[in-house]
Structure 1
């Protein structure tokens, strides 16, 4: 985010504060509770969201040298991403073309090949099978017929995107509209991965993301953690196509009123939340980043997998730095997992109780409304596209 944009947004936040207001939607929004527990809805989302759109895998720091690889199974498809010798990225389904064994686990570094741990079939870093083994046992087949299944992969401004479906040429080249320039100014390619946690939770994946989309609950739910840090009941929301930005000002932003605009630093005095469609949040936290990636648990509408990764401006090399980032990780887990997700668990139970047919999002919750509207539109577009292709 460049400085003129920061100044513009600080002025908008001050204007909201002076009016005693916040970003508002045009009207309240009713969201059917069925979208949180319906198996058919989950099937539509798996095909129309997670199967149709590129998914953020993480930052470039996860693959910072030739031969570095990263595996990811959260979308339901086993994926491996590899940094090639020329610096480009390759992505494949992480499955041997012989008997379907998993090729690699976790993350690490490959010298020049992937070797199947089951029967030793070997692939180069471009996914090409080197030799059919044992020789003479696969007459009629060529190596090229058993290359790894490639997946579209795209890297831009330090963000790595992969489409989980093969054959979607160019589909991972995901436009970020106006946010593309903003991501460039954040210099995400310079950040270092500090720690990752994976949480398996008993509620719908959308429920997990919803807790980040408003701060009206802070004075009630987060009194022991972060409520004292943020101004209550004010935030600035803006949509960018399917994506969005939500700014929650810290109390310290009030000190900028006594400073000239050329000294204003929005990023230091706010939590800036970027929603990257369909399932990712990038949280700018003053001097570091959190990235939350949330996925539905396969065939289980009422459960999800939430991964949080903490990225730091540079690799932690001292005990003091490690202590600082450990404290930040502890606070985020106490706040989100210990407070927000505890309520989310009860919400999922309430949704299943039959107490109501809809959840109500107020005008003061425009980010929540945007999130569900773009999901509905994407699924509608997917159905229309399928029906057109059948004609």
Structure 2
């Protein structure tokens, strides 16, 4: 995180107060909320176990206490969760065109990717554009309530059906091509074809939309940007599904979205999300003041992980009996392989934000990050909506002007560095190490 510009601090200052036990550093300088009106309306839940929905709030409290034990131990010992040793990475890991093409093929076209959350298209007829992975894709909730993905491509002459770019969303029972008005319903069926007689006796003269693998699970909409077998989201998430269930993504309502840019390889930008080693130097005026530098707790779940960064109030718990510890709010950084980071945390007890970052390559040396802030349990009132919008602005400013600034400058240096130059991820940067190792395994190219 970086310090906010003066205008932003001035805008937030009437609403801010010191943070207590905040597990998610990206929320550390967001405004505080009153505890009234927390029972306001939320969007309808799409929980796969609606009739047996657990008490997620209570479950979060229990999980937060378990994590807090490890955090207090690390603070007491002035250490962090460590890898087995440092990991040198040749500069080609970031700048090599062949490696980038392998990542594009195996990761961005071959892996299930998060195209959005349930709340982005909650009702039949709602649709979103997902174009960051390569092909332009329409993700539509059909009249039957099922989410499907289709190439944003008219089966007549290949024109784009929806010409707006991500993060565009819309609502329609039918979508007409702007070129010749071929029309498709929200199940992908061709239902209108001007000049139909001109295509008689042609086997492909009246095709429906071209469907891509898509599924909805735990409030996440997964799409694979190439044809193939159906997506098994449960298998993709594995044990990590239990952690994601805690944050009830099926209830999250979008508040504000936008795009951040870095003049760097997407992995170079992604590295900044997995370690607190840079807090004291890069974020000296914000997180560096409120959070410990280079102390974290990492939990790995296959190729995914969850990481917690302790704020400095944790030091007050060292040496105290656990029975004397105050309740702590659940939160943390949830990384979904290969390119999605979800921050979830409370700024005032019981009042949460969800932030979703999806990093995509725009060529080997450019990154496009789709960033959105969500109200995790619905938009309580207009004051809360305004606070969420300011949280978006604050975080976007920080990431763009500090984290992505450093990534862009570092990437420029790598391109001109000596041919044998290696960056090195320390043992204290264990999360980025794991990410690189899983990416290398997925693309079949050792690091």
Show the counterpart of 1:388.
Answer: none
Change in CA separation of 1:39 and 1:114 when aligned onto 2, cut-off 3 Å: same
How many Å apart are 1:312 and its aligned residue? 1.1
Show the counterpart of 1:83.
Answer: 141
Show the counterpart of 1:386.
Answer: none
Q: Is the 8 A contact 1:30 1:361 kept in 2?
A: yes
| Aligned pair partner of 1:107 in 169, 172, 197 | 169
How many Å apart are 1:330 and its aligned residue? 2.5
Question: When the two structures are superposed, what TM-score results if normalisation uses the length of structure 1?
Answer: 0.90
Structure 2 distance, partners of 1:206, 1:71, is 24
Structure 1 distance, partners of 2:385, 2:321, is 34
Gaps (5+ residues) in structure 1? Answer: 384-391
Matched, 1:58 2:116: yes
Matched, 1:29 2:92: no
Change in CA separation of 1:174 and 1:205 when aligned onto 2, cut-off 3 Å: farther
Show the counterpart of 1:360.
Answer: 424
Q: Secondary structure at the match of 1:278?
A: coil
Show the counterpart of 2:290.
Answer: 229
| Aligned pair partner of 1:205 in 266, 271, 275 | 266
Show the counterpart of 2:410.
Answer: 347
Structure 1 distance, partners of 2:157, 2:326, is 61
Change in CA separation of 1:128 and 1:262 when aligned onto 2, cut-off 3 Å: farther
Show the counterpart of 1:264.
Answer: 327
- Structure 1 range deviating more: 324-333 or 301-310: 324-333
Structure 2 distance, partners of 1:170, 1:161, is 8
Structure 2 distance, partners of 1:5, 1:318, is 29
Show the counterpart of 1:215.
Answer: 276
Show the counterpart of 1:285.
Answer: 345
Change in CA separation of 1:91 and 1:173 when aligned onto 2, cut-off 3 Å: farther
Structure 1 distance, partners of 2:241, 2:295, is 26
Show the counterpart of 1:137.
Answer: 198
Q: Is the 8 A contact 1:153 1:173 kept in 2?
A: no
- Structure 1 range deviating more: 167-176 or 7-16: 167-176
Change in CA separation of 1:8 and 1:81 when aligned onto 2, cut-off 3 Å: same
Change in CA separation of 1:262 and 1:122 when aligned onto 2, cut-off 3 Å: farther
Deviation sequence 1:249-268 (CA, Å, 0-9, x none) = 1223445657637953242x
Show the counterpart of 2:41.
Answer: none
How many Å apart are 1:150 and its aligned residue? 0.4
Deviation sequence 1:246-289 (CA, Å, 0-9, x none) = 1111223445657637953242xx5x111100111111132111
Show the counterpart of 2:37.
Answer: none
Change in CA separation of 1:174 and 1:196 when aligned onto 2, cut-off 3 Å: farther
Structure 2 distance, partners of 1:192, 1:243, is 24
How many Å apart are 1:140 and its aligned residue? 1.6
Show the counterpart of 1:273.
Answer: 333
How many Å apart are 1:224 and its aligned residue? 2.3
Deviation sequence 1:90-137 (CA, Å, 0-9, x none) = 110011000111112321111x22211111111121111124431210
Question: When the two structures are superposed, what TM-score results if normalisation uses the length of structure 2?
Answer: 0.79
How many Å apart are 1:191 and its aligned residue? 1.2
Q: Is the 8 A contact 1:201 1:305 kept in 2?
A: yes
Matches within 5 A, 1:64-75: 64-75=122-133
- Structure 1 range deviating more: 128-137 or 87-96: 128-137
| Aligned pair partner of 2:369 in 306, 312, 325 | 306
Change in CA separation of 1:233 and 1:262 when aligned onto 2, cut-off 3 Å: closer
How many Å apart are 1:148 and its aligned residue? 0.8
Gaps (5+ residues) in structure 2? Answer: 1-58, 347-351
Show the counterpart of 1:153.
Answer: 214
Show the counterpart of 2:54.
Answer: none
Q: How many residues were matched structurally?
A: 376
Matched, 1:16 2:61: no
Q: Secondary structure at the match of 1:260?
A: helix
Show the counterpart of 1:4.
Answer: 62
Q: Secondary structure at the match of 2:244?
A: helix
CA RMSD across the alignment: 2.2
Q: Is the 8 A contact 1:132 1:138 kept in 2?
A: no
Show the counterpart of 1:196.
Answer: 257
